[in-house]
Amino acid sequence: MTLADQRNLTKSNAQFQRALKRLPLGVASSFRYWGDDRTIYVARGKGGRIWDIDGNGYVDYRLGYGPAILGYADARVDAAARKGMEVGGVFALSTERELTVADRIAKMVPGMDLVRYSNSGTEAVMAALRLARAHTGRDSYLLVEGGYHGLFDAAMWMADVEDWEAGSNRDPDIISYSKGIPQTLKSLAHLVPMNNMQRLEDVFRRYGNTMAAMLIEPIQGNCCGILATPEYVRLARKLCDEYGVLLIIDEVKTGFRVARGGIQSLLGVIPDISTFAKAMANGYPIAAIAGREDVMRTFGYNGAAHGGTYTAHSVSIAAAEECLRILDETDALANLATYGKTLQNGIAKILDDRNIVHSFTGHDSMFGLFFAEKAPDNYRDWKKSDYTFYDTMAHHLHDLGIIVEPDSREPWFMCEAHDQSCLSDTLKAVEIAVDQTQQDLEDAARS
Ligand SMILES: Cc1ncc(COP(=O)(O)O)c(C=O)c1O
């Protein structure tokens, strides 16, 4: 009997059938639907692990898409959040902690002079784009293929690489992520392939004078962790300066994770505006928009509207204060990156022993795994990797007690609480999952 045979999802399956009657797809966010008989309902999480309602335990590398940077139910952050609860919630007035947290952000991320808060990454990027438009008086903007900036209409334009022929010299079509996005908005969004300097210069030459902003995730946290080269981001900075376009570095996933100062500090590029969210408060809902003083002061009565009933809720802001203190004052980030490196080495050995071609990208704290010799440096090249191998392996990993995203475009996330036992459980499972995947693919090829 394999470990996989032991997973029982009876209760999750029954919950799914009940939930379906009241919740579309039986879930609260469409990405949580993993199929009628594979959708999991969580009972609790602690450290680097979660347990479903059937009692199956998993080492988790999704971490809620990144927020649980210290691990689930971290006692230090939760104690701070409880103190925040005693403050009373929201008042449609400010509290002192907003400044304390803004000071911490400004200290950790050079160039982030002023700060405003939101509740989610989507809200923060939406506010950042509005701020850029208000500051420049322009409407259009530039996105990088494979980037993701949340679920607001302006951000939901993507290169249709799935229906595009790899290697073709035609650009992929630009499509919306979803129905319900007004097609009239499409003309405002320009897209460029990551790391293609020539294409970047061309698009600035053609549209630079009408663009308010360029949005970039230098580690594409929703596209395998594809990395922007430092030269590419430096060129983006230079072109933005030349054409009066504001550079927005979206650090919703990378901020307070890949380094105290985010990916921008590793690249040595200071954007005009930056957005942060996931790792800010270990999962409590809070996000930040930060940036250059003159730009940020465009928020105000006669400038860009910004606000919201739940902004800087007393629980979330207290959790952020403690989470950022830990990330700033301890070795948490270095330790979780070391774990990520050790995990990659372990996976590499298993794959090398079987002569399976692979590569990693991203950062040790959030890495993508590819079945291709060279990791892609733009979304179009993802298509050349063997993502069928990844997708099949991911399903086996779930059965074996390891949670990774079923889609190879989501990186694996590390947290401070991942420990030796998580590591050895993961590597044991990867070894079995790889063998099962090879077997499945051989069987499929024969039939
Ligand atoms: C880079 C980036 N920006 C924005 C968002 C949207 O954040 P949220 O899901 O909190 O709205 C995400 C979410 O994954 C993201 O990765």
Task: Per residue of the chain (447 residues), give pLDDT as tens.
Answer: 344 456 899 999 999 999 999 999 999 999 999 999 999 999 999 999 999 999 999 999 999 999 999 999 999 999 999 999 999 999 999 999 999 999 999 999 999 999 999 999 999 999 999 999 999 999 999 999 999 999 999 999 999 988 888 878 899 999 999 999 999 999 999 999 999 999 999 999 999 999 999 999 999 999 889 999 999 999 999 999 999 999 999 999 999 999 999 999 999 999 999 999 999 999 999 999 999 999 999 999 889 999 999 999 999 999 999 999 999 999 999 999 999 999 999 999 999 999 999 999 999 999 999 888 988 899 998 877 778 899 999 999 999 999 998 888 889 999 999 999 999 999 999 999 999 999 999 999 898
Burial 287-306 (b: 16+ CB within 10 A, else e): bbbbbbeebbebbeeeebeb
Do 68 and 88 share a domain, yes or no?
A: no
Distance CA 79, CA 69 (A): 16
Which of 280, 297, 329 is a domain's end point? 329
Residues 401 and 389 in one domain: yes
**Same-domain status, 117 and 254:** yes
Rounded to a whole number of angstroms, the distance between the first and last alpha carbons of the chain is: 25
Instruction: Specify whether the CB–CB gap between 115 and 321 falls below 8 A.
Output: no
61 and 195, same domain (yes or no): no
Ligand 1 atom with minimal separation from the 221 CA: 16
Boundary residue ending a domain (304, 329, 354):
329
Residue 262 Cα, ligand 1 centroid: separation in angstroms?
A: 15
CATH number of the domain bearing residue 323 = 3.40.640.10
Residue 259 shares a structural domain with residue 304: yes
* Torsion sign (Cα): 333, 334, 338, 341: positive
Distant-in-sequence contacts of 436-443, Cβ < 8 A, 24+ apart: 436/2, 436/4, 436/393, 436/396, 437/389, 437/392, 437/393, 437/396, 438/354, 438/356, 440/392, 441/388, 441/389, 441/392
Domain check: are 79 and 42 in the same one?
no
Q: Which residue shows structure tokens 């902690």?
A: 97
Q: Are residues 294 and 165 in the same domain?
A: yes
Left (φ > 0), alpha (ψ -120 to 50) or beta: where does 55 sit?
Answer: left
The reported pLDDT for the residue numbered 2 is 45
**Protein residue with its CA nearest to atom 9 in ligand 1:** 121
Going from the Cα of 148 to the center of ligand 1, the distance in angstroms, rounded, reads 7
What's the domain count of the chain? 2
Residues 285, 150 share a domain: yes
Which structural domain range is residue 388 located in? Answer: 3-72+332-446
User: Which token pair is 44?
Assistant: 């609790």
Instruction: Give the ligand 1 atom nearest the CA of 217.
Output: 1
Whether 173 and 68 map to the same domain: the answer is no
- What are the φ and ψ backbone dihedral angles of 438, each rounded to 5 degrees? -60, -45
- Is the CA virtual torsion 421, 430, 223, 219 positive or negative? positive
Which of the listed residues 329, 348, 374 is the one where a domain comes to its end?
Answer: 329
Q: Which two tokens stand for residue 282?
A: 């270990």
Ligand 1 centroid distance, CA of 417 (Å) = 23
Ramachandran angles phi, psi of 214, nearest 5° = -115, 125
Do 36 and 145 belong together in one domain?
no
Question: Within its chain, how far is the Cα of 112 from the centroid?
Answer: 20
Mutate to test the pocket of ligand 1, among 129, 149, 194 (most ligand atoms within 8 A of CB): 149
CATH code at position 376: 3.90.1150.10
Counting ligand 1 atoms within 8 A of each CB, the residue from 63, 129, 148 with the most, and so the one to mutate, is 148
Do residue 132 and residue 277 come from a single domain? yes
Q: Which residue from 31, 69, 125, 178 has its CB within 8 A of the most atoms of ligand 1, so it is best to mutate? A: 125
pLDDT, residue 381, reads 87
Same domain, 408 and 369: yes
